[in-house]
Amino acid sequence: MKVVIIGASFAGVAAALEVRKLHKDADIILLEKQATLGYIPNGLHLYWDNKINALDDARFITKEQLDRHEIQYYLSATVEKINTTQKIITYDYLEKEELIAYDKLIIAAGSRQLSEKIDGSEHERVLKYKRYDEAQAALAKVQESRHITIIGGGQVGVEAADLLIRQQKQVTLIESMDYVLFKYLDEDMIQPIEQKMTDNGIDLKLRQTVSSIEAEADHKISVHLGEESVASDAVIMGVNVRPNLHFLDEQIDLHMDQTIAVDRYLRTSAEDVFAVGDCIQLSGPGEEMVYIPLINNAVRTGIVAAANLIKPAVPFNGSSRTIGTHVFGYYIASTGLTEGESLFTNRTVKTCRQEVRLTSLPQSDTMTLKWVYDASTHELLGAQLLSTSNILEKINTLALAIQTKQTLEDLKQADYFFHPLYTQMVSATNLVSWMAERADEDES
């Protein structure tokens, strides 16, 4: 069996490794248009944070690892066309057009930081840095810039704002919603972070939509929003990523948002063609199909597609949109439904927000924790964490609780370890800790 995978990033590589595990004799070929392999998209943030010495250190897979698994790869190989009737792919490699046939095809071509809605977003001082070469260019541009405008207050934009302000840059951050990180946290949870952002001198422009970007004569670049304009030395695009799938043929059905339509087994409308990662929508926290471009989803969909190559065996079980990061001195994490988002579902939810101590020591730090649960069944639907201590791993426990449809009552009996250095009498993520202390008016 010859399995061709378009795109050698998280989804493509995860699929390739899993195909090798399941099909010892398969020929596995990765086609990747970048010249280097396995760059981690937030490598530039790791570099600015002094966690790595060079962008080259931000890699999640090496050529040697692929060689060891007998996975072939072609770098600088750009797929231009696919013919899913004849099962043939056309790609550019070393300035020559090449053809390759497949038995099974996995499309893992991911996404780009693009905004078609914003005119001027292709200018060279408008920085995107998901890819290695883009990150190199952005690094140089930021070094020579004093004032930087960030468009988008999602995880990329807020992390960038924190890292740039620490380099004494002047930062303006523009977000069209009422508050930053709105996909992951409710407004009541975000207050300390927004406060820290303004305390640190960030010019936070909320509820403002960018209409266009324009280069000025004096090397400045202007971002236009309504009547107002912000002139700075460079702009960072922290807006949502979008798939880039110009090479598909008409046999492959797309959604309105240009993602590839797949079934539960990640099969497309063309026979023997699968799609994974940032190319597809997933069943999200509200159980509707949504676009959730995250590495955890890319890896998991890659693994599931590999399991379904021969016959539909393993359905993909959706995404709780689990994230964790460290910004402006706070560790924040989120999984599942937020209270704000619940308004768009037909669920009636209740919430509880509480500050819990993390250890049994007198000087213990605390964590603010918000639970979102179904008002009638008490099933846990979402959780948000915020602390100055590193509590990020705790979100995975709660993500698992959501995935396995645990109720508040189930969670009361969760068997968590006790050690006075690391826990209090009742673990911070055990519902008993707030059940015992909560005042009914805390609930909404």
Ligand X SMILES: Cc1cc2nc3c(=O)[nH]c(=O)nc-3n(C[C@H](O)[C@H](O)[C@H](O)COP(=O)(O)OP(=O)(O)OC[C@H]3O[C@@H](n4cnc5c(N)ncnc54)[C@H](O)[C@@H]3O)c2cc1C
Q: Which residues bind ligand X (CB under 6 A)?
A: 6-12, 31-34, 41-42, 78-79, 108-111, 113, 129-130, 156, 241, 244, 247, 277-278, 293-296, 298
Which H or E run contains 172?
Answer: strand 170-175
Instruction: Output the smallest distance, CB 107 to ligand X, in A.
Output: 9
Distance CA 367, CA 304 (A): 35
Distance CA 213, CA 34 (A): 27
Name residues whose C-beta falls within 8 Å of residue 281's C-beta, 6 or more positions apart in sequence: 255, 257, 259, 289, 290, 291, 292
Instruction: Output the smallest distance, CB 444 to ligand X, in A.
Output: 30
Instruction: Output the smallest distance, CB 279 to ligand X, in A.
Output: 6
Instruction: Output the smallest distance, CB 322 to ligand X, in A.
Output: 9
Instruction: Output the smallest distance, CB 387 to ligand X, in A.
Output: 19
Of the pair 3, 426, the CB lying nearest ligand X is at 3
Of the pair 229, 296, the CB lying nearest ligand X is at 296
Instruction: Output the smallest distance, CB 163 to ligand X, in A.
Output: 11
Of the pair 299, 428, the CB lying nearest ligand X is at 299
Instruction: Output the smallest distance, CB 352 to ligand X, in A.
Output: 27
Distance set, CA 316 to CA 75, 106, 147, 291, 381 (Å) = 29, 15, 44, 14, 19
Instruction: Output the smallest distance, CB 109 to ligand X, in A.
Output: 4
Q: How many CA atoms lie within 13 A of 142 on its CB side?
A: 30
Q: What are phi and psi for residue 206, nearest 5 degrees?
A: -95, 160
Of the pair 149, 433, the CB lying nearest ligand X is at 149
What are the E-state strand segments in 203-322? 203-206, 212-215, 221-225, 228-232, 234-237, 241-243, 273-275, 282-283, 289-290
Instruction: Output the smallest distance, CB 408 to ligand X, in A.
Output: 28
Distance CA 89, CA 46 (A): 36
Of the pair 29, 386, the CB lying nearest ligand X is at 29
What value does the CA radius of gyration of the chain take, rounded to a whole number of Å?
23
Of the pair 79, 262, the CB lying nearest ligand X is at 79
Q: Residue 95 region, left (φ>0) first, then alpha (ψ -120 to 50), else beta? A: left
Indicate the SS3 state at residue 76. Answer: coil
Instruction: Output the smallest distance, CB 257 to ligand X, in A.
Output: 15
Of the pair 258, 296, the CB lying nearest ligand X is at 296
**Chain-centre distance of CA 165, in angstroms?**
23
Indicate the SS3 state at residue 118. Answer: coil
Q: How far apart are the first and last CA of the chain?
A: 56
Of the pair 262, 426, the CB lying nearest ligand X is at 262
Distance CA 46, CA 159 (A): 10
Q: Which residue has the tokens 């981690």?
A: 40
Q: What are phi and psi for residue 149, nearest 5 degrees?
A: -105, 130
